[in-house]
């Protein structure tokens, strides 16, 4: 596996790494923790752009996470780098624009094979492919987006769990 240990590594990618991808990182980590697999599954997140590098997640993201029992306080935004292809087993885009950018950055077929969209993991998603960007929306929209991410991360974790359980 890509990392120096036997952990399965997944990175969630959105635009600025302050709204959607931090939510996915925190939620996916929570599922791993609850399954007793915190040492076997490592989640991170990144943005396709560099606008917010070093910043905390958007306050509305942090508030939505807190309202739903998660802690996003440790998050600091970073930009996706080519090294992320080497460090991670799975690269999950939050919408098709991110998937296109990541596909363009993939250096090899192996890099490209690691790419996936998040929402298709959730069979209840009614064919919706993109997690909407809540940045210009209300606090309620952040809660709605978090709900979509929770459902899709739950489905993704359930799919991966048998393969990564010791």
Catalytic residues: 14, 20, 133
- SS3 of the chain: the string is CCCCCCCEEEEEEECCCCCHHHHHHHHHHHHHHHCCCCCCEEEEEEECCCCCCCCCCCHHHHHHHHHCCCCCCCCCCCECCCHHHHHCCEEEECCHHHHHHHHHHCCCHHHHHCEEECHHHCHHHCCCCCCCCCCCCCHHHHHHHHHHHHHHHHHHHHHHHHHHCC
């Amino acid at each position: 596996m890509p990392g120096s240990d036997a952990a399965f590594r997944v990175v969630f990618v959105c635009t600025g790494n302050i709204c959607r991808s931090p939510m996915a990182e925190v939620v996916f980590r929570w599922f791993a923790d609850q399954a007793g697999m915190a040492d076997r599954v490592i989640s991170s997140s990144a943005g396709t752009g560099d606008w917010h590098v070093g910043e905390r997640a958007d306050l509305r993201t942090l508030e939505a996470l807190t309202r739903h029992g998660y802690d996003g306080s440790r998050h600091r935004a970073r930009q996706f780098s080519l090294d992320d292809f080497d460090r991670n087993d799975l690269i999950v885009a939050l919408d098709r624009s991110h998937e296109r950018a990541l596909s363009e950055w993939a250096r090899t077929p192996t890099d490209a094979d690691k790419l996936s969209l998040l929402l298709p993991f959730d069979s209840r998603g009614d064919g919706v492919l993109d997690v909407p960007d809540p940045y210009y929306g209300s606090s309620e929209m952040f809660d709605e987006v978090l709900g979509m991410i929770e459902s899709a991360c739950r489905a993704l974790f359930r799919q991966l769990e048998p393969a990564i359980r010791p």
